Amino acid sequence: MKKNSFTTLVTLIAALGGFLFGFDMAVVSGIIDPVRTQFGLSSSQEGWFVSCALLGCIAGVAFSGYLADKIGRKKVLFIAAILFLVSAACFSFSTAYPLMIAFRIMAGMGVGVASNISPLYISELAPAKSRGRLVTFYQLAITIGILVAYVSNLFLQRYAASHTPEGLMGWLFVSEVWRGMFLVGVIPAAAFFLLLIIVPESPRWLARYGRDAEALAILIKMNGEQPAREELASIKAISNATGNSSELWQSPLLKLLILATVLTALSQFSGINAVIYYGPTILKEAGIVTNEALLYQVILGAANMFFTFIAIWKVDSLGRRPLYLTGSICAAIALSLTGLCFLNNITGWWMLASISLFLLFFAFSLGPLKFVIATEIFPTHVRGTALSICILTMWVSDWIVNLLFPILRDRIGIGATFFIFAGCCVISYLFARKNLFETKGKTLEEISLTINPTSK
């Protein structure tokens, strides 16, 4: 297999973790109403059913970074695949509310592990010249997972409306359609587990633990013999010059951690999840009357996915900093236009256009670049821990947005809420303009030397 083909294949397999992340978090939107009706859930039980996966996400992030540094990236990806597979299968056949909650928490743990380790693994295998593009594949996989969840939910909903239940499959896909919606996730989860068998361990993790021969063999397969030997020598030089994970809490690494966590939080405070998860509600408020809530989720999910290709196309040629600055300020403008439309009762397709513009600018900047930046600015010996903190920040920020959006919507109105989101994008622009540095085209070791010259 050609070097580029092998690297791309390994990237796509690792990115399946992102696909399952997106699918698992989005598929629940189609099962809330039928589950609430079937099990007679109170409002508090419904809220716990939707949000309990976040508890699993936090737990998954908390242990995955430590494990990835101790036992390797590949083994932890296997753990994520098992969590996805078991939770999808068992949740689909659960008949009691407590069991459903337990398996939703397990699914959340899979999401937490994948959101942390998949981009980390990709960044450590990717060549410097294409690392940004390959890590962005992870964000693309998330958007594809979201879209597939919306499409499968819509298909099964319509299938159930036009068919009579027959046998076990009829029960799953027609009589209790929500079970079929979740069971679909077994297919990509099983594929992820099986395909992980053929991917290698991270050469940088291997070199850190003195397994140089294994690391060199993987690097040769990806880059050719001479470049591989040079890269391994660079990896070893940095590894020998660095210390332990406690350095993350000291300068200059602490400054990098602040940079990465602030950018991660602000990307979520742009309101992207409010647009994705509350999209049908927002569109109805905008005067686009529809009874097909799932259909409009498909439209928003498709836009989010297609716009991410811009980041894949340009992140390694234009660089991280220009894309981030352009996208964040343009996202602020698009959100402000959306707010103005609401405040002035400008509804219909003008409103849809302004929301779509926000998705466009988010998808090539704030969305994927937080993963790219967080996975490449930290040295190997703290990368797993640092990325865990960044991803934990992402989930906490998501929780805050999802909690506050309905409250803000009802108390100050959607228009004013969108102006708050726009303000967060402006803050993100100003913060990145002052603190974000360019990393395109550099190896992870060259970035480490730029940040901490004493590592030479």
Q: What is the pLDDT of residues 64-101, one digit of tens each?
A: 878 888 899 999 999 999 999 999 999 988 888 899 89
Cα gap 222→120, rounded to integer Å? 17
Residue of 47, 83, 87 lying closest to 63 (CA atoms): 83
Cα gap 387→9, rounded to integer Å? 23
- What is the pLDDT at residue 167? 62
Q: Say whether 119 sits in a helix, a strand or coil.
A: helix
- What is the pLDDT at residue 30? 73
pLDDT tens string 145-180: 988 988 888 888 777 777 666 665 555 555 577 888
Q: 456: buried, middle or exposed (CB in 10 Å: 19+, 13-18, 0-12)? A: exposed
Taking each helix axis from N to C terminus, what angle separates 3-27 and 212-223, rounded to the nearest 10 degrees? 100
- What is the pLDDT at residue 278? 62
Q: Say whether 211 sits in a helix, a strand or coil.
A: coil
What the block records as the tokens of 136 is 């962005």
Residue 454 has pLDDT above 50, yes or no: no
- What is the pLDDT at residue 368? 82
Residue spans per domain, the chain: 1-199, 242-456
Q: Which whole number is the average pLDDT over 321-331?
A: 92
pLDDT tens string 246-303: 777 877 888 889 999 999 999 999 988 777 666 656 666 666 655 555 676 677 778 7
pTM over 0.95? The answer is no
- What is the pLDDT at residue 78? 95
Residue 15, Cα to own-chain centre: how many angstroms? Answer: 10
Length of the chain: 456
Q: Which whole number is the average pLDDT over 320-348?
A: 89
Cα gap 228→122, rounded to integer Å? 17
Residue 46 has pLDDT above 50, yes or no: yes
- More confident site: 330 or 232: 330
CA neighbours within 13 Å on the CB side: how many for 272?
Answer: 28
Residue of 315, 313, 306, 360 lying closest to 140 (CA atoms): 306
Cα gap 388→399, rounded to integer Å? 17
Q: Are 360 and 304 in contact (CB under 8 A)?
A: no
Which residues have CB under 8 Å from 436's CB, separation 6+?
259, 263, 320, 321, 324, 325, 373
Residue 24 has pLDDT above 70, yes or no: yes
Cα gap 89→81, rounded to integer Å? 12
Domain 242-456 has CATH 3.40.50.300: no
Which residues have CB under 8 Å from 231's CB, separation 6+?
219, 223, 443, 445
What pLDDT band is residue 419 in, cutting at 50, 70 and 90? very high
- What is the pLDDT at residue 432? 92
Q: Which whole number is the average pLDDT over 381-388?
A: 79
* Amino acid at the residue 28: V
Q: 242-456: same fold as 1-199? A: yes
Cα gap 399→437, rounded to integer Å? 29
Task: Please count the other Cβ atoms lying within 10 Å of the Cβ belonging to residue 102.
Answer: 17
Residue 245 has pLDDT above 60, yes or no: yes
Residue 301, Cα to own-chain centre: how many angstroms? Answer: 14
Residue 144 has pLDDT above 80, yes or no: yes
- Averaged pLDDT of the chain: 82
Residue of 238, 189, 205, 163 lying closest to 71 (CA atoms): 205
Domain 1-199 has CATH 1.20.1250.20: yes
Q: Say whether 94 sits in a helix, a strand or coil.
A: coil
- More confident site: 322 or 38: 322
